[in-house]
């Protein structure tokens, strides 16, 4: 039975599963590292103990998250070769070095500064410790930059030549390879997304504890900070997303048309399809509900601007519209919901009721996971929208895979699902246990656990509040 | 000309990363393999404490090896990984389980037995998969048109199972000798007893693998036994005999560090022997390091980063080992 499944579909499912699971952790740790940097800076500037307390509270959570990100990241460095060997051979000379730099950056950050950040405040003094925190935050951003460079090159390849073996090789300079057309837009959109994701987790934890005790100073401070982020950054993210969309329309029009469900060209302005079920087979959206001209208004900033349709492109170059249509809508809807919470919090703040409006807090708790869902939906949109290519327009997915055997891919996919859900499920449970504890007035420091050689501590500090609290 | 130099340089860097990984993660995987034989309580806690500060740093060399192979020798990466597909996946999953179990066992005393089992099982699976992978590469994989052309179970053979078991036993020896160094009292006595039998086992496994390898291919045979090369290659088994004798002497005379040093030396010699067999191939008898090399622009671009960062990592690793140089107690390092 397994033999009848298409091994390429299974390989894609496996990659999608492992990379989606992996990205959950960095999406949080990128934002959290910067948040910790801000907290420590505020503590050093104002001397207010609440910031130091919050720093210690979130540092424990950061350690667990970062560790799980590393463990799931090790898997990714082998996924390219096991399932996508042709892609690895052909694109390796270009993306291999970029990924190697990501590994080296991560090493550097872990080796140099994470250990100090986690365990060193009493050993190295405030100034040096703050420097270590800043370096960790910077390291997560550099790491993200390399990975986004790899992904952007696959979306909008540039700066390459093709050698006699059919490999993509650098043409002369590495700069056009790193700074491709979609790179700046994607980087900004991804990093802001990580910040928003973190803001909503922090906001949810703050709101959760406000619902229990609205005088808890730590909960008040973290909720207030998170809501400022939501109010300020959510609109910026919507603008950044719009710019990213326009860039995609320029370089990957078929992706955007699939996201919009625009099969037929619209010479007098495209509608905005709110709801429907796109079908590539029928080349139309079933049960379509749409508003005329708004599609062109969004994509061209002019309601009467003509827009192409998918039928203007070769049928075999269409991405699976039914997936990206919906993943895109999930992402956008969550983005606007975040904006709504941000505006609501501004209103509550203006009325002096930020810490009193129970429904605001309940909604903030419910929105805690919103960032993760939006981030995954966004990646699904851009990655599925890149189909049917791995290197856009140049190398097809159907020609990128390894010589695969369906039973091997299926069995390993099942094994990944089981192991990830049990191992990372346990880790997530420990994280939630940490978050369920209210920030104390004097948050304990990380216990003096043995320092790690590379500073990676999958669960360091998880036990600290448990033993301290019992 | 410059590309040839770079390629050898990168082969050396990756060889170094793999070697660093094998000896460093080898002893902590070995402790995982031996874990069920330690009594619950102090003995297990001591064993865990002895590797807690260093194991994850050890494991990062694996990422380095994989990432470096992808970047510097994409063709080799794209042939070896599909050829050993189930082994690589099993190894990664074993390492995931083991990595989280490592920390969770401290945090969740109620489920400690479960996490201990995950730790041990993950270690055995990872070590076995690594050993079988080695055998699979040595025995050769079918390559056509620069791609793996075999089935998904081609790696399975008596020879690869032999190398799998050999690596498990060898890692266990590294683990036991590490514990002799790092623990005291009953733990140390237990480790010493284990090390004696594991030393015998490792030698037997090494002999079996060495005896079988030259029969895999005539090239290996010629490399090892033809004149004048034999004058050089014969030094390897000679050194193995010396190191093994020193290992047993050290165990008998209650030396604390010598056994670990000799176990490491045995691994280095084994690695050297592999190098003699394989060079200049990266996928034996199919793809040489030059066939598999990324273009010089790619290799030189990465070299800049590697030259800066690898020494930093080495310095930091050395420092971490120095900080935790004493005996590991029940509650961490003294």
- Per-residue pLDDT reduced to its tens digit, B306-321: 888 888 878 877 777 7
Q: What is the pLDDT of residue A460?
A: 33
Tell me, yes or no, whether A318 lies in a domain.
Answer: no
Q: Do residue B57 and residue A456 have CB atoms under 8 angstroms apart? A: yes
Total tally of structural domains belonging to chain B = 1
| Statement: residue A464 has pLDDT above 80 | no
Residue A277 lies in a domain: no
- Tell me the per-residue pLDDT of A254-292, one tens digit each, with 9 for 90 and over: 998 888 888 888 888 888 888 888 888 887 888 888 888
Residues of A in contact with B295 (CB under 8 A): 93, 163, 167, 169-170
- Quick one: pLDDT band at residue A190, thresholds 50, 70, 90? very high
Is residue B240 assigned to a domain? Answer: no
Nearest-neighbour CA in chain A from B50: distance (Å): 10
- Verify whether the Cβ–Cβ distance B75 to A163 is below 8 Å: no
Residues of B within 8 A of A85 (CB-CB) are 77-79, 81-82, 147-148
Rounded to two decimals, what is the model's pTM?
0.85
Per-residue model confidence (pLDDT) at position A454: 43
Q: Is residue A319's pLDDT more than 50?
A: yes
Of residues A184 and A280, the one with the higher pLDDT is A184
> Is B26 part of any domain?
yes
Instruction: Check CB contact of B294 with chain A, cutoff 8 Å.
Output: yes
pLDDT for residue A238: 93
Q: Does B152 touch chain A (CB under 8 A)?
A: yes
> Are A74 and B294 an interchain contact pair (Cβ–Cβ within 8 Å)?
no
Asked if B306 and A82 come within 8 Å (Cβ–Cβ), the reply is no
Asked whether the predicted pLDDT for residue A34 surpasses 70, the reply is: yes
The DSSP H or E segment spanning B148 is strand B147-148
Confidence band of A446 (pLDDT split at 50, 70, 90): low
Residues of B in contact with A405 (CB under 8 A): 85, 151-152
The reply to whether B213 touches chain A by the CB within 8 Å rule is no
Lowest mean pLDDT among A4-13, A110-119, A169-178, A336-345: A110-119
B65 lies in which domain range?
2-215+281-333
Cβ-based contacts of A75 with chain B (< 8 Å): 92, 96
Distance set, CA A120 to CA A129, A434, B312 (Å)? 7, 21, 19
Distance to chain A for B299, nearest Cα, Å: 8
How confident is the model over A401-427, as pLDDT tens digits? 888 788 888 888 998 899 889 888 888
Give per-residue pLDDT as tens, A204-213: 999 999 999 8
What does the mean pLDDT of chain A come to? 85
* pLDDT recorded at residue A155: 93
The residue that leads in pLDDT, A342 or A114, is: A342
For residue A266, list its beta bridge partners: A307
**What integer best gives the mean pLDDT of chain B?**
85
What's the confidence (pLDDT) of residue B298?
A: 87
Stretch B86-96: mean pLDDT: 90
Of the two residues B317 and B29, the one the predictor is more confident about is B29
Query: Rounded distance, CA B108 to CA A368, Å?
Result: 26
Q: What is the tally of structural domains in chain A? A: 1
- The pLDDT assigned to A149 comes to 94
Per-residue pLDDT, A274: 84
> Is residue A174 situated within a structural domain?
yes
DSSP β-ladder status, A395-396 and A389-391: antiparallel
Question: Do the Cβ atoms of A258 and A321 come closer than 8 Å?
Answer: yes
Do residues A256 and A332 make contact, with C-beta atoms less than 8 angstroms apart?
no
Res A461 pLDDT > 60: no
Provide the pLDDT confidence category of residue A457 given band limits of 50, 70 and 90: very low
Q: What is the mean pLDDT of residues B26-38?
A: 91
pLDDT of A449 higher than 80 = no
Label residue A444 by pLDDT band (50, 70, 90): low
Q: What is the DSSP letter of A441?
A: T
Q: Which residues of A435-448 are buried (b: 16+ CB within 10 A; e: fewer)?
A: bebbbeeebbbbee
In DSSP terms, A290 is beta-bridged to: A273
| pLDDT for residue A36 is more than 90 | yes
Q: For residue B141, which of B79, B185, B67 has the smallest C-alpha distance?
A: B79
- Partner residue facing B71 (CB), from A73, A100, A456: A100
Q: How far apart are CA A84 and CA A187, in angstroms?
A: 25
Whether residue B226 lies inside any domain: the answer is: no
Domain that holds residue A401: 2-252+324-469
**pLDDT value at residue A465:** 30
Write down the pLDDT at residue B154: 87
| Nearest residue of A to residue B153, measured between CA atoms | A408
Average pLDDT over residues B248-274: 89
Q: Is residue A284 part of a domain?
A: no
Backbone angles phi, psi at B279, to 5 degrees: -50, 140
Of A46-50, A437-441, B217-221, B227-231, highest mean pLDDT:
A46-50
Q: Is A273 in a helix, a strand, or coil?
A: strand
pLDDT of residue B4: 55
- pLDDT value at position B333? 54
* Residues near A68 by beta carbon (within 8 Å), at least 6 away in sequence: A25, A424, A427, A458, B100
Could you give the percent of chain A with pLDDT greater than 90?
34
Give pLDDT, residue B334: 43
Instruction: Pick B216 or B245 by higher pLDDT.
Output: B245
Name the pLDDT band for A172 (thresholds 50, 70, 90): confident
Does B185 map to a domain?
Answer: yes
pLDDT (average), residues B217-245: 80
- Is A281 domain-assigned? no
More confident: A186 or A64: A186
ipTM: 0.80
Q: Across the interface, which of B68, B97, B147 has its CB nearest the CB of A403?
A: B147
A349 Cβ contact list (under 8 Å, min separation 6): A224, A227
What is the rounded distance in angstroms from the CA atom of residue B47 to the CA atom of residue B175?
A: 9
Is residue A331 in some structural domain?
yes
Q: What is the pLDDT of residues B66-79, one digit of tens each?
A: 888 888 888 888 89
Whether A458 has a pLDDT exceeding 60, the answer reads no
- The residue that leads in pLDDT, A369 or B332, is A369
The answer to whether residue A415 is domain-embedded is yes
Is residue B288 assigned to a domain? yes
Given an 8 Å threshold on Cβ–Cβ distance, is B108 in contact with A81? Answer: no
Is A431 or A103 the better-scoring residue by pLDDT?
A: A431
pLDDT bucket at A120, cuts 50 / 70 / 90? low
């Amino acid at each position: 039975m397994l033999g009848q499944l298409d091994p390429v579909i299974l390989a894609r499912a496996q990659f999608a599963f492992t990379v989606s699971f992996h990205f959950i952790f960095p999406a949080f740790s990128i934002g959290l590292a910067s948040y910790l940097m801000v907290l420590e800076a505020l503590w050093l500037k104002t001397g207010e103990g609440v910031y130091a307390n919050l720093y210690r509270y979130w540092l424990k959570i950061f350690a667990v998250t970062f560790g799980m990100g590393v463990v799931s990241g090790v898997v990714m460095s082998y996924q390219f070769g096991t399932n996508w060997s042709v892609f690895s051979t052909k694109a390796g000379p270009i993306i291999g070095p970029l990924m190697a730099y990501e590994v080296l950056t991560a090493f550097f950050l872990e080796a140099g500064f994470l250990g100090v950040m986690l365990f060193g405040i009493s050993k190295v003094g405030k100034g040096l410790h703050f420097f270590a925190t800043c370096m960790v935050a910077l390291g997560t951003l550099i790491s993200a930059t390399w990975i986004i460079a790899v992904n952007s090159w696959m979306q909008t390849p540039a700066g390459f030549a093709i050698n006699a073996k059919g490999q993509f090789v650098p043409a002369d300079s590495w700069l056009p390879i790193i700074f491709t057309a979609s790179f700046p837009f994607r980087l900004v959109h991804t990093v802001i997304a990580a910040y928003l994701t973190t803001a909503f987790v922090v906001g949810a934890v703050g709101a959760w504890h406000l619902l229990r005790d609205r005088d808890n100073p730590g909960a008040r401070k973290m909720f207030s900070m998170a809501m400022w982020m939501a109010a300020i950054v959510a609109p910026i993210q919507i603008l950044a997303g719009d710019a990213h969309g326009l860039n995609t329309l320029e370089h990957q029009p078929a992706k955007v048309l699939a996201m919009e469900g625009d099969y037929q060209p619209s010479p007098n302005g495209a509608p905005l399809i709110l709801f429907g079920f796109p079908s590539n087979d029928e080349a139309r959206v079933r049960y379509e509900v749409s508003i005329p001209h708004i599609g062109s208004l969004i994509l061209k900033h002019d309601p009467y601007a003509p827009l192409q349709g998918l039928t203007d492109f070769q049928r075999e170059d269409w991405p699976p519209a039914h997936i990206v249509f919906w993943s895109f809508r999930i992402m956008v809807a969550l983005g606007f919901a975040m904006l709504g919470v941000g505006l609501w919090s501004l209103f509550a703040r203006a009325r002096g009721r930020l810490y009193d409006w129970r429904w605001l807090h309940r909604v903030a708790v419910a929105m805690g996971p919103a960032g993760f869902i939006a981030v995954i939906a966004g990646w699904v949109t851009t990655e599925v929208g890149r189909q049917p290519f791995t290197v856009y327009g140049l190398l097809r997915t159907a020609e990128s895979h390894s010589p695969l055997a369906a039973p091997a891919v299926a069995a390993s996919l099942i094994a990944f699902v089981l192991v990830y859900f049990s191992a990372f499920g346990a880790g997530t449970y420990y994280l939630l246990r940490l978050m369920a504890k209210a920030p104390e007035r004097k948050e304990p420091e990380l216990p003096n656990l043995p320092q790690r050689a590379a500073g990676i501590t999958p669960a360091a500090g998880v036990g600290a509040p448990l033993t301290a609290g019992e | 000309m410059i590309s040839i130099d770079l390629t050898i340089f990168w082969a050396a860097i990756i060889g170094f990363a793999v070697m660093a990984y094998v000896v460093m993660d080898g002893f902590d995987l070995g402790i995982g393999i031996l874990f069920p034989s330690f009594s619950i309580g102090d003995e297990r806690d001591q064993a865990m404490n002895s590797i807690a500060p260093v194991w994850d740093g050890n494991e990062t060399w694996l990422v380095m090896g994989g990432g470096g192979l992808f970047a510097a020798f994409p063709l080799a990466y794209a042939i070896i990984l599909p050829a050993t597909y189930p082994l690589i996946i099993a190894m990664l999953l074993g390492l995931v389980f083991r990595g989280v179990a490592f920390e969770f066992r401290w945090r969740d005393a109620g489920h400690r037995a479960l996490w201990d089992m995950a730790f041990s099982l993950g270690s055995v699976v990872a070590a076995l998969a690594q050993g079988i992978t080695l055998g699979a590469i040595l025995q050769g994989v079918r390559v056509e048109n620069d791609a793996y052309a075999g089935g998904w179970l081609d790696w399975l053979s008596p020879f690869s199972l032999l190398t799998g078991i050999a690596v498990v036993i060898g890692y266990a020896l590294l683990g036991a000798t590490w514990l002799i160094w790092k623990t005291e009292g009953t733990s140390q006595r237990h480790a010493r007893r284990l090390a004696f039998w594991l030393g015998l086992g490792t030698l037997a496994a090494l002999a079996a693998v060495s005896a079988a390898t030259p029969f895999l291919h005539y090239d290996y045979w010629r490399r090892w036994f033809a004149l004048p090369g034999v004058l050089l290659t014969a030094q390897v088994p000679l050194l193995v005999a010396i190191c093994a004798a020193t290992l047993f002497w050290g165990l008998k005379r209650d030396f604390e560090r010598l056994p670990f040093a000799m176990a490491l030396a045995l691994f280095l010699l084994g690695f050297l022997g592999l190098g003699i067999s394989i060079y200049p191939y990266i996928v034996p008898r199919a793809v040489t390091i030059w066939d598999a090399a990324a273009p010089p622009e790619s290799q030189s671009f990465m070299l800049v980063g590697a030259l800066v960062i690898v020494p930093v990592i080495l310095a930091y690793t050395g420092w971490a080992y120095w900080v935790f140089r004493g005996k590991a107690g029940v509650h961490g390092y003294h």
